[in-house]
Structure 1
């Protein structure tokens, strides 16, 4: 949701941004992700073309990899997104295509969205449809190829309640059909310590249900406390057909201590239950034959504190922009063998301009 501190500058041709994001954690996983984004007007200020490229350089010796007796894994994921956006009066529409590739995963997705402003622009209704067709593979095994199809919709309504207050309600529905397990994870069944080793009776490939429906409700609000200070809050409730439930609450304080400089401090709290087939230890096969070693399907909670900053300096023609992020988080696992908590550090920097 946009800050109530200042209005967006009028389009002046286009934007060019480049940045880098780094995340490292106590589970011996590091992600380095450079990103480039170009936004260019096409014919008129009301029509814009967006092109984004990003690279995720991923290195890990996490607990999943160590318990599978696998050496350090290094992979690169390349992603490109092309989109177009058109505004006309009080309406706008957009369309985009995303392509992502890594050694064991190929993703294609398309999105179509639109919005309309009503009641003298005090109410904005928006919607988005999306679909994806992915192919799951296994590095080093050209015969392993499984499809994954997904689709869904998002609808939202944003209300300008007063000159200083915004409220937004949103609902999202997603459905997935196909292979959603990891071809690299194996699950210990029967005896032992829950890990695949010499004490395990059986070590079986991970098996997940092949269908998953997801629902999410979101409530957001933003209040300007002063001409240069605003407070935001978000609550999100999620549940799916795997019986996973989650709650997310977040709050942020944004201020402009100097001309062109915006700072934001954000805190986020997250908690989820486990899926119906998750077990820390499997003593026997579960109904349906499902097994998982995915810690993201276990009961867990996390906290994240982040500081954002962005500086904009106007020029005779256009402006230059610089931004930075520093964030720390803690993830606690209630019932996952081999790992009880993870500490993570995130850093990012951005440099760009408008012309």
Structure 2
């Protein structure tokens, strides 16, 4: 298990991330450069995205600079790899049948649960990290990420968690806040109400579903350039994959392309499977078992004809004593680990 300890100001935390994971960050950026066209990196870096982060969450801009300084890598490369979701829609480089399946339950005696598989390009495998963030002005956070990135999903010691699904058929806005920054901004809050209000209130760069939960329940929000649209939970139960269920802010060209690639069909199949299998009373253990499914598949194996794979999985049990479990890779090569909290 690789846990990177980061504490202090955002600049301090970024430097700690870069220094402690220097080899991993450099390797992740090397394979990212080999797998991503230069024009894509220049497009994302030259966009207004970083300016929006500096305006709304200046500490995260400092943290990106700290990562670059700590790892001894170009700042522009760190910025570009962090705007991963934004690069996909800006260049229309959608992942064929890309994943990220989320389940959650907001009722029951054991408190709320959230769990998800994070499915990413296969070249990112091997860059998995857990960040233990102890900012001077927010709760401690445990974050699943790729080396050099701010966050992919996470939970904080106050019991607030955020899981996500890419929604490539929704409209994006290069003046919005990138997905990685939205996740971290939400995790700075101490309850679901504050975190969800943050997600609803910021402009969004990319089409994305955010599941925001705490011990009292879960809020499901589909976000895009047009704003945030709530997705009603059915009997306190959440299942979501990679097609919009409530938002009508559609990019028709993107939707057509995703249908032609089979991405929408794949997402619908995963949603149907999870909808039939997941109960409102389902336990964290049942959620973790669902995430290992290799029939639909919910868990995407690394095979040559399918250029993505399950990068990692998370399982959050929320409440007064939140628990976070992480699996860094596929089930056959990685087991569940539970880092625990430093905060007393």
Q: TM-score, normalised by structure 2?
A: 0.30
Which structure dedicates a bigger proportion of its chain to strand? 1
Q: Normalized against structure 1, the TM-score is what?
A: 0.29
Structure with bigger helix share is 2
Structure number with greater Rg is: 1
Q: Higher relative CO (CA 8 A, sep ≥ 6), structure 1 or 2?
A: 2
